[in-house]
Structure 1
Amino acid sequence: MFRSLGLSTTAEAVYRAMLAEPTWGVAELARSVEVSTRQVHDALDELIELALVRESGDIPGRLRPTNPEVGLAPLLARARASIARQQYEIEATQAAVEALAEAHSDNRQRDRLVRLPTLDAVRDRLEHLAALAGSECLSFIPGGPRKLDAIAVSRPFHRRALEHGITVRAVYQDSFRNDPETLAYARWFSEMGGEARTVPLIHFQLTVVDRRLALLPIDPADPRKGAVEIHSPGVTTAVCALFDQVWSSATPFGSAAPVDDNGLEPPERELLRLLGDGHTDESAARRLGLSVRTIQRMMSDLTDRLGAASRFQAGANAVRQHWL
């Protein structure tokens, strides 16, 4: 019943038995649940991790179960938050599918969707669009292994647009602050008159011109595979709304990243979310554009601050303490 809360079947059975008979030891629990004593010990370790079992204050060495309303509430809150995130992603995906369906239908007119199959084709098209832009250009510049390709494509586009007096706004990942190449580019961009901000995580590269056409990568993980130029109002409205939302919460270039009431910086909050969604250190590092060593150092610090003995317990404590 509680598998959705991260509790194994054996651990749940042991927990229920302890609630019914708080004085039972390992042997009695094993007989009641019909498992080996080794399995009971593993289940107790799991229950301790989830703060569902703790040491008795009256009898040293004895474990006692936590009140279900107290112990299970944080796990339930975490499960609800995960479901809410999944629901949001499903709704966002549905909106993207509907927008792409509209773009696909309009593509019959041959002027609604254009495939740019190479990085050079994207660069050439961006230079042309910079000359045609009338008022505004918006960009997402991802970090990690994609940053150099993203910068190579964006520089001539940004330069020409800025030289023509166009308002240019770009959002980078926070990790650029520690990357010499991206930091140098962001400084050049700001000195040219561009407006730059940062967020912990950018999922894909994006360029929007005059809020009427958008360039999206064919493969967000590999800009070298080219892009798709979309003129569909449904798609451009959606990506502009996304950009505006990200921009409003981003940190202006040159300002310190904001710290929330729990003392968390944006990358720390995003790391907790990623690890809570099941990402490894390696995949979290790729998403955030940071080194694995930096991620491990951040997680070690967060675990200490949360008073946790493990990452799993850190996730549960983060939910319990309203860090997420």
Structure 2
Amino acid sequence: MAQSVYHLMLERPEFGVAQLADATGFTEASVRAALDDLADLMLVRVSREDPNRLRAVSPEVGLADLMRRHEADLAARQAKVAAARAAVTRLVAERADAFNPGSANGERLVGLDAIQHRLESLGHAATKECVGVHPGAAQRAEDLAEGRLLDAEALSRGVAFRTLYQDSVRNDPATINHAHWLMDRGGEVRTAPIVPQRLVIVDRTHALVPLDPADTRKGALYVTEPGIVAALVDLFEQAWATAVPLGATRTRDPDTGLSDTERELLSLLSSGMTDEAAGHRLGLSLRTIRRMMASIMERLAATSRFEAGLKAAKRGWL
């Protein structure tokens, strides 16, 4: 309906609601609803000649404006995710020392076997939902295969799975195969350039987070305290909202030509991060980071990182 109304408005810009209704055969109420949808897509605007009438804008202009609005919304959400991540990391760090093996609200898990045992217990007890964040470029194929039996059993009981990876896993066959295995069984998988710390949340009441996000080998913290679990759930939901479904193709900014990952890389490097640190944050190898920067410098016609920074800032890329 909205498409028919839009095409007619492009052909007959002088038509009002009543005439659009007559020409399309829709009711006036339906036409007004279609105009609301078109306004949300920024394809119609108030006429400067008659403020009581709407005019159609070209698809190219409307799409560019819509992309800019979405980019601004995405940037705001990503900033919120970063702030929430920092707050949750501080909260978990402050409370980690308070948890003892016999604590009613959680416990420290030292060693991979202890963590795996807890994951298995949570998987068997799950009734509604299991969400997870997995930073880094990839997971080992054997680790992914080991978890499938438990995941399959939970999925068969109707437990909803949502998994968040970094964009870099799109180049890892083992992780992609596992992601498609999940999606084939009703799970959802999304990716983002930067994701929060590694975590698993079951039924919004139990969570596992690393004791040290920088070194997950130090162990994990099993949390059931409602305040901390709620903060972790909120962090996950914010990150999930900014991520892209695995099957979707990431688009480049129509104004800058930058991908989300390239924009994040520029932001990280401009903040003073080294190539190595930025690569760790984005889940990319040092070689990939340097290749991306070389591509950006070429587009900016810059002969040095310093010149590239100046030109990127001047163009509003930072």
Equivalent residue number for residue 124 of structure 1: 117
Q: How many Å separate the matches in 1 of 2:140 and 2:213?
A: 12
Distance 1:165 1:88 in 2: 29
Between the aligned partners of 2:86 and 2:192, the Cα distance in structure 1 is 21
Q: Cα distance 1:138–1:290, how it changes in 2: closer, same or farther (>3 A)?
A: same
The whole-number CA distance in structure 1 between the counterparts of 2:199 and 2:246 is 19
Shift of 1:198: 0.3
What is the match of residue 175 of structure 1? 168
Between the aligned partners of 1:282 and 1:208, the Cα distance in structure 2 is 30
Query: Does the 8 Å contact 1:275/1:284 carry over to 2?
Result: yes
Measure the CA separation in 1 of the matches of 2:251 and 2:201. Answer: 27
Q: CA 1:89/1:197 → structure 2, altered by over 3 Å: closer, same or farther? A: closer
Measure the CA separation in 2 of the matches of 1:251 and 1:241: 18
* Alignment-derived partner of residue 286 in structure 2: 292
What corresponds to 2:312 in structure 1? 318
1:295 is paired with a residue whose SS is: helix
**Counterparts of 1:267 and 1:158, CA distance in 2:** 30
Matched, 1:264 2:261: no
Output one character per residue of 1:253-305: Cα deviation in whole Å (capped at 9) or x when no partner: 11111322322112111111221122222232232222222211110111122
Measured against aligned partners, the alpha-carbon deviations of 1:214-262 in whole angstroms (never above 9, x if no partner) come to 1001232333332111111221111111111111111101111132232
Q: How does 1:74-223 map to 2 (within 5 A)?
A: 93=86, 96-98=89-91, 101=94, 110-144=103-137, 151=144, 155-223=148-216
Unpaired segments ≥5 residues, structure 2: 1-77
Bigger shift: 191-200 or 273-282?
Answer: 273-282
Cα distance change, pair 92–143 in 1 and its aligned pair in 2 (3 A) = closer
1:213 Cα deviation (Å)?
1.7
Amino acid across the alignment from 2:177: A
Q: Does 1:254 align with 2:247?
A: yes
Task: Decide whether the 8 Å contact of 1:150 with 1:223 is kept in 2.
Answer: no
Q: Is the 8 A contact 1:106 1:112 kept in 2?
A: yes
Measured against aligned partners, the alpha-carbon deviations of 1:188-229 in whole angstroms (never above 9, x if no partner) come to 121222100001123521101111121001232333332111
Q: What's the RMSD between the two structures over aligned residues?
A: 3.0
Shift of 1:92: 5.7
Q: Normalising by the residue count of structure 1, what TM-score does the alignment of the two structures yield? A: 0.65
Q: Which stretch shows the higher mean deviation, 258-267 or 126-135? A: 258-267
The code of the aligned residue for 1:177 comes to R
Identity %: 42
The yes-or-no answer on 1:302 pairing with 2:296 is: yes
Q: Secondary structure at the match of 1:172?
A: strand
Unaligned stretches of 5+ residues in structure 1: 1-84
Q: CA deviation at 1:313?
A: 2.3
What CA distance in whole angstroms lies between the structure 2 residues aligned with 1:140 and 1:95? 14
CA distance in 2, matches of 1:308, 1:267: 20
Q: Which amino acid aligns with 2:292?
A: M
The whole-number CA distance in structure 1 between the counterparts of 2:80 and 2:178 is: 37
Q: Distance in 1 between the 2:188 and 2:253 partners?
A: 24
1:225 and 1:313, CA in 2 relative to 1: closer, same or farther beyond 3 A? Answer: same
Cα 1:238–1:123 change in 2 (3 A) is same
